[in-house]
Amino acid sequence: MDVLHSAGVRVAQHLQSGFNEYEDWFMFASNVADLHTPYFVFFPIWFHLQSKVGVKLVWVAVIGDWLNLVLKWVLFGERPYWWVHETNFYGSSQRPVLKQFPVTCETGPGSPSGHAMGSAGVWYVMISAILTLASQRNHSTLQTGCLRVLLWSLFCAIELLVCMARVYLAAHFPHQVIAGVISGILVAELFDKVQWIYGASLKKYIITTVFLFSFALGFYLLLKVVGVDLLWTLEKARRWCVRPDWVHMDTTPFASLLRNLGTLFGLGLALSINAPLYQASYRGKQVHGAPFRLGCIVVSLLALRLLDLVPIPEEQELLLYALSFCKSAAVPLMVVWVAPGCLSQLFTVKKKKAQW
């Protein structure tokens, strides 16, 4: 692996020296590839346009990131920013110098890349949804083919940018981002064949949430019993990050796990509360018109923006996990229940006034 890692370091050095003028673009691509964007931006938009796609987005993101966590614990992937300091590969030779950034010092293992895996899965779902909607319209074969080529070319360009960004930032080796993209596509493809999630009850959401948490915790404890420390990367991050304030506890594996499980539980709770409206939308019946749905999107995005401003203290680990779960659970509640509920009341009041 040292040969593969050293080749990856050379790629990172080449990107940092030859493409440093695109640093802002790489930072932007890395931030957008984080699962924060699908939850806080893509999900509100898609849920109120095509609720089925919104639900699928959440499931692909949650299961994909959970699988990513398990794979990272199994594969023990290094990260470039600490590997160059600890490897014996270079012997007495001068070690390569890699520049670090505020988002470089993630605390979990590196393989496969969570950013690449998450973005690949999410964008695969969205592009597939657009193509499905386009196929339902009376377009010519040429138009459909051109749209397909255009959108999948866009997908490739986005994933290439994300992969380059993660390598440029010294957060991943090239083989880790490639593995992430492939894994993300496979998860999205899997959910093309899964239909029960669209009619799942709150009980199924709770059972799934508990199972995912129990499996991850049980796997962690099992490996710990046999002498494997799955938090080995946290010490490396603290030791080799050039700035201590760049090491964030919310990037630890369990913080990420609780955020995702909170989102999944919140979705199940919100759908159970707002079941009639969701079921009608799922069956293709638009209960409300375009102005209402557009209003729901705007209100949801504004509400989530305010929620995003609420800080979570990182000093106490258990408190961080609990608040991360609760804050993430609030996201689908605001999108699925609060925003439509508030606008329904507003539209009802206006309708009554118009009748007077």
How many residues in total does the chain contain? 356
Catalytic residue check, 14: no
In a domain, 353, yes or no: no
In a domain, 85, yes or no: yes
Find the catalytic residue in 115, 175, 248, 288.
115
Question: pLDDT per position in the chain (356 positions), as tens?
Answer: 889 999 999 999 999 999 999 999 999 999 999 999 999 999 999 999 999 999 999 999 999 999 999 999 999 899 999 999 999 998 888 899 999 999 999 988 999 999 999 999 999 999 999 999 888 887 777 888 899 999 999 999 999 999 999 999 999 999 999 999 999 999 999 999 999 999 999 999 999 999 999 999 999 999 889 988 877 888 999 999 999 989 988 888 899 999 999 999 999 999 998 766 655 554 555 556 788 889 999 999 999 999 999 988 888 888 999 999 999 999 999 999 999 888 887 766 555 555 55
Tell me, what's the pLDDT at 289? 77
CA-based nearest residue to 12, from 171, 164, 168, 116: 168
In a domain, 319, yes or no: yes
Cα–Cα distance between 201 and 6 in angstroms, integer?
A: 49
Domain span including residue 274: 2-347
Tell me, what's the pLDDT at 290? 83
Cα–Cα distance between 172 and 182 in angstroms, integer?
A: 15
- Residues at the annotated binding site? 79, 166
What is the C-alpha R_g of the chain?
Answer: 22
- Residues at the annotated binding site for substrate? 79, 166
Query: Taking the CB of residue 276, how many other CB atoms lie within 10 A of it?
Result: 8
Cα–Cα distance between 195 and 203 in angstroms, integer?
A: 17
Classify burial at 78, counting beta carbons within 10 Å of its beta carbon; exposed 0-12, middle 13-18, buried 19 or more: buried
Find the catalytic residue in 5, 14, 85, 172.
172
C-alpha dihedral (127, 128, 130, 132), degrees to nearest 10: 170
Six-digit token pair at 16?
């940092």
Tell me, what's the pLDDT at 193? 92
| C-alpha dist (Å) from residue 308 to 133, 150, 327 | 31, 33, 9
In a domain, 20, yes or no: yes
In a domain, 352, yes or no: no
In a domain, 200, yes or no: yes
In a domain, 83, yes or no: yes
Domain count, the chain: 1
Classify burial at 332, counting beta carbons within 10 Å of its beta carbon; exposed 0-12, middle 13-18, buried 19 or more: buried
What is the torsional sign of CA 308, 309, 310, 316? positive
Asked if omega into 44 is within 30° of 0 (cis), the reply is no
In a domain, 342, yes or no: yes
∠99-103-106 over CA atoms, to 5°? 100
Cα–Cα distance between 57 and 63 in angstroms, integer?
A: 10
- Per-position b or e across 282-300, b if 16+ CB within 10 A of its CB: eeeeeebeeebbebbbebb
